[in-house]
Each structure stands twice: as C-alpha cells, then as structure tokens.
C-alpha cells in the first residue's frame, strides 16, 4: 500500500442535461478548472453507456467483460480524477438500475445522460499523483510522485 494525505480544495456542482456525454463533460470541467486530482459523486439517469463488469479471468493483463446500457437507467456512483500525461483520466464506478434489475461496473464510454445527472466534484489539494500505463496490467494506474 502507498498513500498520501491532502486537503479538499474547490467544490464544483454541475448539472448535465438529457443527451449530454457525462464522462466527456466531467473532463471538460476538469480541464477548464485545472483540477489535477479529485473525486466526484454522481446521481441521476443514463440512457446509454458502455461499462466493464470485471475481467473474464483473474489473470494479467485482464480481459474486460463489457456490458451496454441501451435504455434509461437510474445511476448512482463515485469516481476519481487524475491526469495521464496531458489528459484527465476519469475512473468511475456506478450502479445502474432499471425496474428490478441492477448492474454495477466501471463506466468507460458512451455515457449519454437521461433527463438529468447531478455531479459534485471535490478537488484534492496537496497530492502529487497521476496515472501511468502499467505494462503488466495494460491500464493506466495511479502512482504518486513526490
């Protein structure tokens, strides 16, 4: 385990409307506000989205199992924001529910809002961290720099 201690900086409250891309919108805010490290909470609805529900097998590098939302779902989730080189990377895990069916996974692309999503972004100050590609895992993982 490796960790650092920081402080909460600015807090951004955002509302996304029907048809907007949630993940791209969060990245747009992060770029504009120059948030280098942060976390966020999401509540609302999605009507489209591709998410990962785990690896096929517990081996490296993991081969992701993809699922797709193709109609409106309630969504509740949390995520982190750290940069990889010159690009913010969003790591978002959410629960997606429709009637009596609930799915949970890592939303990665095609995140189209249904009706409304509210996002609370909390900037983390005093943490020097970024995402770097880990060749064994094949994903950009969180690393600290001092």
How far apart, in whole angstroms, are the C-alpha atoms of residue 72 and residue 101? Answer: 12
Residues 87-105 pLDDT 10s: 999 999 999 999 999 999 9
Confidence band of 108 (pLDDT split at 50, 70, 90)? very high
List the CATH code of the domain at 10-144: 3.30.1330.80
CA-to-CA distance for 139 and 118, rounded, in angstroms? 28
Burial (Cβ within 10 Å: 0-12, 13-18, ≥19) of residue 101: exposed
77 vs 73: CA distance, rounded Å: 13
Q: What are the extents of the domains in the chain?
A: 10-144
CA distance 122 to 120: 7
- Give this prediction's pTM: 0.95
């Amino acid at each position: 385990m490796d960790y650092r201690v920081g402080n909460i900086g600015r807090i951004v409250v955002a509302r996304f409307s029907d048809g907007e891309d949630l993940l791209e919108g969060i990245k747009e805010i992060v770029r504009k506000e120059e948030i280098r490290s942060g976390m966020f909470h999401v509540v609302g609805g999605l009507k489209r989205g591709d998410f990962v529900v785990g690896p096929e097998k517990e081996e490296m590098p993991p081969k992701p199992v993809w699922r797709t939302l193709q109609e409106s779902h309630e969504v509740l989730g949390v995520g982190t924001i750290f940069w990889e080189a010159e690009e913010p990377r969003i790591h978002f895990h959410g629960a997606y529910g429709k009637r009596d069916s609930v799915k949970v996974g890592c939303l990665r692309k095609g995140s189209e809002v249904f009706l409304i999503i509210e996002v609370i972004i909390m900037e983390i100050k005093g943490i020097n961290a970024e995402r770097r590609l880990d060749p064994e895992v094949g994903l950009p993982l969180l690393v600290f720099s001092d």
